Amino acid sequence: MGDKFVTSTQPPAQRLQFWLEVVCNQILPVSIDPRHDRVPQAGMACSTLGSLRIRDVVGGDHVYTRDQACLRRGDPETVQIGTPLQGGSILIQDGREAVLGPGDMVVYDSSRPFTLVMEERFHWQVFLLPKVKLRRPESELAQITAVPLSSERGVARVVFQFLRNLATEARFFEGDPGAAALGENAADLIATMVRSHFGKPWDVADRDAVLLHSVLAFIAEHHADPSLDPALIAHRHGISVRRLHALFERHERSVSTQIRQERLIAIRRDLADPRLAQRPIARIAESHGMVNPSAFARLFRAVEGITPRLFREMALRRT
């Protein structure tokens, strides 16, 4: 069974802060303008199938804003596929506005600012997927956000129906050996929809693009291996280390930085998970490839500005 959070479990004076912390921890850091719903009646059911996270959310006429301050608080590096089931809403990102109603879908990116305006009481299902799973460059992702997709026809209809069924049944799948495979199937369907509506499959002539995204997917999948380094990655892809570094010149990060980023994302997620509250921090770091506790602590503090222990305390207080 996944986690469930409802504001009715909290005293009225604490409900808005509780709801803000749930959204920040379970989806991504945002600020909330509650408008007419200052004592929110809201709730969220959370499920995870492999790399796909599913959030079933109800709430009032809130405005959710992800600005630069929220970006500095953390970026899970996900695309969100929002599927409104009730209520009208407007998503604003990358200079576009998507006016949405029940039956629509929309893509938005965790790495850039956005505003989500709920015009009335809402019910959304949100599917969070690591961006690397889409195998698209950042420049292309910036072109597909805040564009409404109707679920009435074509590939979008198939994807919408699959995701709706998955969200409905997810609680029965968690812990099942096939759950991760279902999440990967969903990722493939979403990637197919993105290509169908917004872009085109990678041109096989653009071998660097194909290779780069193969490497990024490999790093995401194998980040927990403490021996993962440029030499290993180059060997597994049949290229030289020099060729690998040249490949990353078209990417926003170096190879080593990308490895660290994947590890830190996973570690932050585990540190904020109440189910892992008793697991030693060093063991969590080790399980994600960072086997030197002192080096990990220095890196975490340099990136986050606080110690891993304080990060965990603050995150668990918000749950």
Residue 105: Cβ-neighbour burial (10 angstroms; 0-12, 13-18, 19+): buried
| Dist CA 239 CA 235 (whole Å) | 6
Residue for token pair 């929110």 = 40
| Dist CA 303 CA 298 (whole Å) | 9
**Predicted local confidence at residue 202, as pLDDT:** 45
Tens digit of pLDDT at every position of the chain (319 positions) = 568 999 999 999 999 999 999 999 999 999 999 998 889 999 999 988 878 899 999 999 999 999 999 999 889 989 999 999 999 999 999 999 999 999 899 999 999 999 999 999 999 999 999 888 776 677 777 888 998 888 777 777 888 888 888 887 776 666 666 677 777 778 777 877 777 666 554 444 456 766 776 788 788 888 999 999 999 999 988 889 999 999 888 776 799 998 998 898 889 888 888 888 899 999 999 999 999 999 999 999 988 889 999 989 888 876 5
Give the class (CATH, top level) of 207-317. Answer: mainly alpha
Amino acid sitting at position 111:
S
Report the SS3 class of residue 57. strand
Residue 157: Cβ-neighbour burial (10 angstroms; 0-12, 13-18, 19+): middle
Q: Are 259 and 228 in contact (CB under 8 A)?
A: yes
Q: Which residues are registered as beta bridge partners of 80?
A: 108, 128
Q: Are 45 and 4 in contact (CB under 8 A)?
A: yes
* Long-range contacts from 148-155, C-beta under 8 angstroms, 24+ separation: 148/98, 148/99, 148/100, 148/104, 148/105, 148/106, 149/104, 149/105, 149/106, 149/107, 149/193, 149/197, 150/103, 150/104, 151/83, 151/103, 151/104, 151/105, 152/103, 154/196, 155/192, 155/193, 155/196, 155/197
Report the SS3 class of residue 88. coil
Q: Which residues are registered as beta bridge partners of 100?
A: 89
Task: Note whether 4-198 and 207-317 share their fold.
Answer: no
Instruction: Residue 35: count other Cβ atoms within 10 Å of its Cβ.
Output: 13
Amino acid sitting at position 40:
P
**Predicted local confidence at residue 20, as pLDDT:** 95
Return the domain boundaries, the chain: 4-198, 207-317
Strand pairing class (122-130; 96-100): unpaired
Q: Are 248 and 258 in contact (CB under 8 A)?
A: yes
| CB neighbour burial string for 7-17, b if at least 16 within 10 angstroms, e if fewer | beebeeeebbe
Residue 133 is classified by DSSP as G
Topology (CATH level 3) of domain 4-198: Jelly Rolls (2.60.120)
**Predicted local confidence at residue 212, as pLDDT:** 78
